[in-house]
Each structure stands twice: as structure tokens, then as C-alpha cells.
């Protein structure tokens, strides 16, 4: 494998760049811009048991150094993802893909995970216990060690593919929750999801988002993400996927030095559809600048 390759839960990927769930659709939309097979993999849109329209609009707002979103897991439901989205994806992407899974109960998580675990094109199951924009689900499981353990253990009991727990930064002790996921059998940890935020329209005095609050992403959250990746990677013995405000090759190297085996790119894809392609293309020269022969050598170097 090349100098940018990395191992992700036993599956070798060509490079560590992974577009994050919710920012890359089901891939084929971006395939109109470039050959998405140059990616390490990508995490497709968060999938639930039933179809979801999501939250009312407006549900996206710009802010300094980032954006707020309260999309609310809009998706067609797992049955249509399997019957319609994955066949279209197979036409343009020929590597294992990461399935991002959300739910409102443990049974929901297990049901959706079992169905996607059976799909040949799916390589990893990213269990989203961290969405801040859905009432009564998602983040409610990821804010306690007990809740996180229960979901991950239940999914691991029913699935054979690597299970990656996606964690929320909206907690007081993310390390203990990551350790609970590892104890439950998680094969990897991905973090961070968005930070809960809010903006107000000065003319109306009302929140900019119909949901009132939303998840903050973009460069503003990068230092927090680096800190949490560093802390978690020192505490667990499974791979960590770092994300949160990554927008350049330099950011990727910093995140990997903090302990990430791979790096997800989120909001940058919404600002520039070519963001991941540009990062991958510039990584070798940035590696040369810092005397890095292989990216795998710098994981956890900090």
C-alpha cells in the first residue's frame, strides 16, 4: 500500500480521508464532480428505521468560522437506502462504504444495523449516538456511559462487521463514554459530532433556526476536536476517527498526530464540493514539508 494508507478496524484504506455523514449524501451526487474512488471511504447519510423528513426549516445558519445545522436526520429509511441508494452508489463507488446509523431506541439501532450489516458494499457500521438535533433519540444514548454501552453491546451481539461508536462532545467526560463503548465491544470510536449552539435574529428577536438550537461545525470546533481525539486515543485501545472542523491537509496531519487513525471531513464539503479531493491531492507535499514518510507513523505522535 502507499504512504498514505491506514488500517481502519482491520480494513486497509488507501488514505485516511473520509467525508462525514450528512455532508456527502450517498456519494453519487459528488461523483458528478470527481472520481470519488480516490477517497479512503465515506460515511453515507444517517439512516433510521423509518423515513424521516427532518426538522422544519430554516435548519441551516451560517456563523463565524462555521455553521449551525438542525437538519434532523432527514433520510428515506433503511429499506429505501438498501433498495434504491446503495445500488446507485455501487455504480460509482467500488470500495467498502461506511454506514451511519441512528435510532430512537435500542431496538431501532439493532434493526437498522442488522440490515446494513448484510449489505456487501458496507464495510463499517458507524453508530451515531451523538446527534444533537433529534428530540428523544441519538444523543440521549451517547451522554451516559450506561446508554452508550447498551446500544453498542446490543449492536455488537447481532452484527459481524466493525462497529464504530460516534460520540458527542456535549458531555462532561467523553473519555469515560469512549471507554464504555470499548468495553461494550466497539471496534472503533469516531469523534466529535457537532457542538450544540444557537444564533438569534436581531431584527425579529427569534432564533435563526426553527429548531431553536443546532449543531455547530466547521473550523471553530477544530481545537476542541483535536483535544478530545487526543484524550480518547490515549485512553482506549481501538482506532479513533477524528473529525470536527477539518478543512486542509495540515488539519489531517494534526488530527492524526493527536491520535486519529483516519479523519472525517464534514462542513468543508458543503462549502466546497471538491474539498476532500483537494486534501488528498495536497497531502503528499505537506507530508514532505514536515518530513513524514508514512502517515501511519505519526498516529498518536503528539
H helix intervals, 77-186? 78-80, 86-90, 106-117, 139-142, 145-158, 174-184
Q: Is 145 a catalytic residue?
A: no
Relative to beta strand 262-265, strand 17-19 is parallel
Catalytic residue among 9, 63, 131, 145: 131
CA angle 158, 159, 165 (to 5 degrees): 105
DSSP summary character for residue 254? H
Would you call 155 helix, strand, or coil by DSSP? helix
Burial of 252 (0-12, 13-18, 19+ CB in 10 A): buried
CA distances to 105, 115, 210, 282 from 108, rounded to whole Å, are: 5, 11, 26, 40
DSSP summary character for residue 232? H
Supply the residues annotated as catalytic. Answer: 131
Amino acid at each position: 500500500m502507499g504512504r498514505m494508507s491506514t488500517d481502519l478496524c482491520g480494513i486497509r484504506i488507501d488514505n485516511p480521508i473520509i467525508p462525514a455523514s450528512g455532508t456527502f449524501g450517498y456519494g453519487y451526487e459528488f461523483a458528478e464532480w470527481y472520481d470519488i474512488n480516490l477517497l479512503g471511504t465515506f460515511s453515507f447519510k444517517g439512516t433510521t428505521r423509518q423515513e424521516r423528513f427532518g426538522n422544519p426549516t430554516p435548519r441551516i445558519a451560517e456563523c463565524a468560522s462555521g455553521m449551525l445545522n438542525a437538519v434532523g436526520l432527514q433520510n428515506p429509511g433503511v429499506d429505501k437506502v438498501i433498495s434504491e441508494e446503495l445500488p446507485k452508489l455501487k455504480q460509482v463507488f467500488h470500495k467498502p462504504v461506511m454506514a451511519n446509523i441512528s435510532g430512537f431506541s435500542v431496538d431501532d439501532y439493532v434493526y437498522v444495523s442488522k440490515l446494513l450489516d448484510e449489505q456487501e458494499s458496507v464495510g463499517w457500521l458507524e453508530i451515531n449516538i451523538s446527534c444533537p438535533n433529534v428530540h428523544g433519540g441519538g444523543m440521549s444514548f451517547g451522554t451516559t456511559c450506561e446508554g452508550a454501552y447498551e446500544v453498542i453491546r446490543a449492536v455488537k451481539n447481532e452484527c459481524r462487521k466493525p462497529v464504530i461508536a460516534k460520540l458527542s462532545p456535549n458531555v462532561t467526560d467523553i473519555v469515560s463514554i469512549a471507554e464504555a463503548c470499548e468495553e461494550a465491544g466497539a471496534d472503533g470510536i469516531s469523534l466529535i459530532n457537532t457542538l450544540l449552539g444557537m444564533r438569534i435574529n436581531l431584527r425579529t428577536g427569534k432564533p435563526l433556526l426553527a429548531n431553536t438550537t443546532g449543531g455547530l461545525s466547521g473550523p471553530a470546533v477544530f481545537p476542541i476536536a483535536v483535544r478530545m481525539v487526543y484524550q480518547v486515543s490515549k485512553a482506549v485501545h481501538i482506532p479513533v476517527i477524528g473529525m470536527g472542523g477539518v478543512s486542509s491537509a495540515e488539519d489531517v496531519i494534526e488530527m492524526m498526530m493527536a491520535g486519529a487513525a483516519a479523519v472525517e471531513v464534514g462542513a468543508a464539503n458543503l462549502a466546497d464540493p471538491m474539498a476532500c479531493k483537494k486534501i488528498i491531492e495536497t497531502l503528499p507535499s505537506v507530508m514532505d514539508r514536515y518530513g513524514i514518510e508514512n502517515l501511519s507513523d505519526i498516529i498518536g505522535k503528539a
